[in-house]
């Protein structure tokens, strides 16, 4: 079946690194995405990785992929209060329908000053 | 580039009424998606269009829901005879289809701000 799971909450202090984890079940080649949602707003695409990659870095964001364990993580370096939001992991399996992304339930990141 | 826009941002309606939402995608995007998001959940796919053709509908899209994209630009989502269980955020997203000259091999979907529906 298709499923994306995330831990629901993460609390860090300003300036620390945050690591948000995600597991997925679809074994077909896939794209994996991280979205950020602030209160009352839509989803902002942060970064993505294809399943034949191990790592991708984009400024303060580092995505690590363990394809064997189907585990994805998003590391935010030097976390700021403005990073407080809900972070969604989403996957797109190329063998599945063309349309939809499958989202996790989201991880609420709280950054304490 | 103004991004994906949705109208209205909030809608309160009484049970049994019909409601219609509008989505304007990013102008060069030929794919448009509708998702529903309830409290504490991630977005769930409802349907998507490529140009004016509706290519897929999820089982969440009951007979009371209908979506259109008549000219391949903006889209509308109508809910007839609303029920309290329809209360949710309705999100629209757009993308280019793979292989188009502007890229889009990565299925990146860009979301609008959503329409929050409350059915009383």
Chain A neighbors of B40, CB-CB under 8 A: 105
Would an 8 Å CB–CB cutoff place B48 in contact with chain A?
Answer: yes
Averaged pLDDT, A55-70: 93
Are residues A103 and B91, on separate chains, in Cβ contact within 8 Å? no
Q: Under 8 Å CB-to-CB from B53, ≥6 apart: which residues?
A: none
- Above 80 in pLDDT, residue A105? yes
Q: Which residue shows structure tokens 């896939």?
A: A30
B59-70 residue pLDDT tens: 888 999 999 999
Phi, psi (deg, nearest 5) at residue A109: -95, 125
Would an 8 Å CB–CB cutoff place A24 in contact with chain B?
Answer: no
Task: Report the pLDDT value the prediction gives residue B118, as an integer from 0 to 100.
Answer: 97
What is the pLDDT confidence band of residue A28, given thresholds at 50, 70 and 90? confident
Of the candidates A50, A92, A105, the beta carbon closest to that of B41 is on A105
Of the candidates B48, B110, B112, the beta carbon closest to that of A45 is on B110
Q: Which residue shows structure tokens 């005879």?
A: B81
Averaged pLDDT, A51-75: 92
- Above 70 in pLDDT, residue A51? yes
Chain B neighbors of A47, CB-CB under 8 A: none
- Above 90 in pLDDT, residue A50? no
* CA-closest candidate to residue B32, choices B60, B52, B61: B52
Q: What does R_g of chain B's alpha carbons equal in angstroms?
A: 14
Would an 8 Å CB–CB cutoff place B51 in contact with chain A?
Answer: no
Would an 8 Å CB–CB cutoff place A97 in contact with chain B?
Answer: yes
Of the candidates A33, A43, A99, the beta carbon closest to that of B91 is on A43
Mean pLDDT rounded to a whole number for chain B: 90
What is the pLDDT confidence band of residue A9, given thresholds at 50, 70 and 90? very high
Task: Report the pLDDT value the prediction gives residue A98, as an integer from 0 to 100.
Answer: 61
Query: Is residue B24 within 8 Å of residue B44, measured between CB atoms?
Result: no
- Above 90 in pLDDT, residue B107? no
Task: Report the pLDDT value the prediction gives residue B64, as an integer from 0 to 100.
Answer: 96
Query: Is residue A109 within 8 Å of residue A8, measured between CB atoms?
Result: no
- Above 60 in pLDDT, residue B102? no
B3-52 residue pLDDT tens: 999 999 999 999 999 999 999 999 989 999 999 999 989 999 999 999 99
Query: Is residue B16 within 8 Å of residue B81, measured between CB atoms?
Result: yes
Would an 8 Å CB–CB cutoff place B34 in contact with chain A?
Answer: no
Averaged pLDDT, A92-101: 70
Q: Residues 26 to 45 of A: which have CB under 8 A from any B CB?
A: 31, 33, 35, 40-45
Would an 8 Å CB–CB cutoff place B99 in contact with chain A?
Answer: no
Would an 8 Å CB–CB cutoff place B108 in contact with chain A?
Answer: yes
Task: Report the pLDDT value the prediction gives residue B6, as an integer from 0 to 100.
Answer: 97
Averaged pLDDT, A27-40: 86
């Amino acid at each position: 079946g298709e499923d994306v799971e995330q831990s629901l909450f993460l609390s860090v202090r300003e300036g620390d690194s945050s690591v948000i984890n995600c597991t997925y079940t679809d074994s077909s080649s896939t794209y994996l995405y991280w979205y950020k949602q602030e209160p009352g707003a839509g989803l902002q695409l942060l970064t993505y990785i294809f399943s034949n990659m191990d790592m991708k870095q984009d400024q303060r964001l580092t995505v690590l992929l363990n394809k064997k364990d189907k585990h994805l993580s998003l590391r935010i370096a030097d976390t700021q209060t403005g990073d407080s939001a809900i972070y969604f992991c989403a996957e797109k399996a190329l063998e599945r329908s063309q349309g939809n992304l499958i989202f996790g339930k989201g991880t609420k990141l709280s950054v304490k000053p | 580039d103004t991004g994906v826009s949705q109208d209205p941002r909030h809608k309160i309606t009484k049970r049994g009424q019909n409601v219609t939402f509008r989505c304007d995608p990013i102008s060069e995007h030929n794919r448009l998606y509708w998702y529903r998001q309830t409290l504490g959940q991630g977005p769930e796919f409802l349907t998507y269009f490529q140009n004016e053709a509706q290519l897929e509908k999820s089982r969440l899209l009951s007979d009371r829901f209908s979506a259109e994209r008549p000219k391949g630009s903006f889209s509308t989502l109508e809910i007839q005879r609303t029920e309290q269980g329809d209360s949710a955020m309705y999100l629209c997203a757009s993308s280019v289809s793979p292989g188009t000259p502007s890229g889009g091999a990565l299925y990146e979907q860009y979301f609008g701000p959503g329409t929050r529906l409350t059915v009383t």
